[in-house]
Structure 1
Amino acid sequence: MFGLTQIDKAFTMLSRKLIGWGQEFIVMLPNLLIAALVLVATLYAARLVKRGVTTVFPRISHSAALRDLVATLSYVVVLLIGLFFVLEVLNLQKTVTSLLAGVGIIGLALGFAFQDIAANFISGIILVLQRPFTVGDVIKTNDYTGLVERVSLRTTDLRQATGELVRVPNRKVFENALINFTINSFRRVDVECGVTYDADLDQVRSVALAAIREVPNLAPERQPDVMFTEFGESAIAFQVRFWVPFERQLDYVSAKSEAIVRIKRAFDAAGIVIPFPIRTLDVPETVLRRLAPPPADPPETPKA
């Protein structure tokens, strides 16, 4: 009898709970319908915003990675706004507050854990927006020189003249000095050389200039010049400077190689000597006498 009474009580309590939940569901039914409509409208609006960003963004930047990122972020932001409206309609304000607090804590933790990645990410966005260089430019940054093959949101990919692919973190590209050789359509070529001390420097200048003027594809509006730079240990050093049209690294390397060949050929024809490294040693006479071998003993005369 006692067992049946406990079962009846439990059944009655469960029935009341179910009836209460049913009544609350009926009361909340209009709110549920409104929340469902808001959710559907949010999904439609998020897709519409993503499509609009994808269409309009190429007018701002041609980076596909940045375009996809902004489109995805816009989609997520619209979804979150719609989700908060849905929770408000369902009278779940405490849940909204908890979600906001959780998102803030998670964001703070991720910011500390991935600060280097975040720095590269933000630097990549700034580089894409400011566009100090584009794909196909020849740049020098962080002691690397090469052709820009790809600019992602994390790295800048450079193809060096020797074929290696270097991936430089965007943070280092953004923070350090950068030279863009492609911005200017011309590049100066400097060739270092030297001649003996007894050479006629006026003749050296005229022969070198005549040789350089025969280099193909010289910039016509910029004349080559020869500058003597120093008295070296074994030669008088000078620098030949001239400008060539520049589109790729091969243009610069080929022009410099051609200049060296023509200068050497012209100097050989004119009898101008490019000296080997020479070092003169001044040894005191006392040291020479000390290092000299002892005199040989005179030969013995045979006895009669």
Structure 2
Amino acid sequence: MFENFNINESVNKIGTKLGEWLDSIILNLPNFILAILVFVLFIFVAKYVGKLIDRLLRRKVKQSSIRQMSVKVLKAIIILVGFFIALGLLNLDKLLTSVLAGAGVVGLAIGLALQGTLNNTFSGVILSFLPQLQIGDWVETNGFAGEVKEINLRNIVIKQSDNNYVVIPNGKIVEEPFKNYSRTVRSRIMLNCGVAYNSDLEFVQDLTIKTIANTFSQQGNEEVEFMYEEFGDSSINFVVRFWHDVSKNKDILVARNKAVIAIKKAFDAHDINIPFPIRTIDFSNNLSVQKKEE
């Protein structure tokens, strides 16, 4: 008799609880449907906004990996906003607070564990929008020089003049200075040389300027500059500076090669000597050896 009473009481409690849940579901059904609709709506918004941003980024960013990651991050943010709004419509404030707190703790742990990786990732995003560094540019950075072949979320890849590839983390590029030859169309090239002490210095200066000006066309306010620098051990040294089209380091080498040939021909035609170090051995003092008489 007592056992039947306990069973009936338990069944009644279960039925009462199920009834309360059913009433709660019925009462919250409009909010539940609205929350689902809002969440689905944000998914579609994220999809179309992602396509729009991808089209805009194609005009500014050449790196597909950067575009894809940027679009994915933006879509994830939009979907998360929709998720939190849906939780708010369901009056799940406590759950929302717990989710935010858990996300903060997890985010902090992931950030500490992947500090170097995240630094390179954010640096990659910065580099993708940096006009001073683009694919195809010739750069010098971190002791390496070459053509930029790839910029991704972790590193940049440059191809050196010896046909070898160098992978440099993005954080190194952002933190260290780099020189980009491709950002300017014209660059000033400097060439050092020297002439003998018995040379006519004014004639040498005029001849060098005329030779370089005839070899390399100077534009606008550009001009060939010539300055004597020092009295060297065997020559009076000078530097000549001129402008030329430069987009990579090879262009400088080619221009210097052309300038050296032109100056050498001009000097030879006018018997101007380009001296080289000479070692002279003086035998004027004879070494005498006196033998001791026995």
TM-score range, shorter chain: 0.7 to 0.9
Alpha-carbon distance in 1 for matches of 2:112, 2:279? 59
SS in 2 for 1:255: helix
Structure 1 residues 227 and 69: CA distance shift in structure 2, 3 A: same
Cα RMSD over matched residues?
Answer: 3.6
Identity across matched positions, percent:
31
Deviations 1:261-295 (A, max 9, x none): 2222333343333233346799xx9xx78xx3523
Residue-pair matches, total: 289
Tell me if 1:24 matches 2:21.
Answer: yes
* TM-score normalised by structure 2 residue count: 0.79
Aligned to 2:98: 98
CA-CA distance at 1:61 after TM superposition:
4.7
Q: Unaligned stretches of 5+ in structure 1? A: 299-304
* TM-score normalised by structure 1 residue count: 0.77
Letter in 2 for 1:133: L
Aligned to 2:229: 229
Aligned to 1:243: 243
Alpha-carbon distance in 2 for matches of 1:14, 1:51? 55
Aligned to 1:165: 165
Aligned to 1:208: 208
Q: Unaligned stretches of 5+ in structure 2? A: none
Structure 1 residues 277 and 56: CA distance shift in structure 2, 3 A: same
Alpha-carbon distance in 1 for matches of 2:243, 2:49? 50
Aligned to 1:152: 152
SS in 2 for 1:233: coil
Asked if structure 2 preserves the Cα contact closer than 8 Å seen for 1:233 and 1:279, the reply is: no
Asked if structure 1 preserves the Cα contact closer than 8 Å seen for 2:156 and 2:167, the reply is: yes
Structure 1 residues 25 and 160: CA distance shift in structure 2, 3 A: farther
Asked if structure 1 preserves the Cα contact closer than 8 Å seen for 2:212 and 2:262, the reply is: yes
CA-CA distance at 1:240 after TM superposition:
2.0
Tell me if 1:47 matches 2:47.
Answer: yes
Alignment of 1:1-304 (within 5 A): 5=3, 13=10, 16-17=13-14, 20-21=17-18, 23-25=20-22, 27-29=24-26, 30=29, 31-58=31-58, 61=61, 63-215=63-215, 217-221=216-220, 222-278=222-278, 292=287, 294-295=289-290
Question: Rg bigger for which structure?
Answer: 1
CA-CA distance at 1:228 after TM superposition:
1.2
Alpha-carbon distance in 2 for matches of 1:102, 1:49? 28
Alpha-carbon distance in 2 for matches of 1:243, 1:68? 42
CA-CA distance at 1:56 after TM superposition:
3.5
CA-CA distance at 1:224 after TM superposition:
2.1
Deviates more, 1:8-17 or 1:103-112: 8-17
Structure 1 residues 293 and 73: CA distance shift in structure 2, 3 A: same
